Amino acid sequence: MKWIAVTGAAIVGWLSVLPASAQTEPRLKSGWLNSQDYPRAAVRRHAQGVLVLGFTVDTDGRATDCQTLQSTGDALLDDQGCRIWTSRMRYEPARDAADEPVAANLQQQIVWTLGDVRRCPATVICISPY
């Protein structure tokens, strides 16, 4: 099983929509993915593709309200992406001018691939079953 630690580098360049009161963006603190996250049924169907998630980072740093903004074309991969993101990823929330946490909306790209993940750029999260 291959483990992938998710760092802030993996979200560089992705859109964040901050409330007007926010002074800082949310920052990814922790999270992980591994090869077993790729659904076996999707592997059998040779399903792969690029998923773009939209979600809210709440004031506790949790990813909530996840939705598919760009589908892979496979509902199982799309649903798995949201499940992983909302259950495992933790953020330092956005902060306002008084240094109080505020909710903010983010987007994240995940590439589900049956190919070699070593070819993925460092700023892209790729998941392979191998």
- The phi-psi region of residue 114 (left if phi > 0; otherwise alpha if psi is between -120 and 50; otherwise beta) is alpha
Residues 6+ apart with CB under 8 A from 75: none
Report pLDDT for 19: 65
Query: CA geometry: angle at 105 spanning 35 and 68, to 5°?
Result: 50
Higher pLDDT, 32 or 44: 44
pLDDT tens for 39-96 read 999 999 999 999 999 999 999 999 999 999 999 999 999 999 999 999 999 999 999 9
Q: What confidence category does residue 16 fall into, taking pLDDT thresholds of 50, 70 and 90? A: low
Taking 60 as the threshold, does the pLDDT of residue 2 lie above it? no
Domains of the chain: 3-127 (3.30.2420.10)
The answer, yes or no, to whether residue 8 has pLDDT greater than 80, is: no
Q: Pairing state of beta strands 3-5 and 101-102?
A: unpaired
d(CA 69, CA 55): 10
Is the alpha carbon torsion for 118, 86, 13, 32 positive or negative? negative
Length of the chain equals 130
**CA angle in degrees (0–180, nearest 5) for 111-76-9:** 25
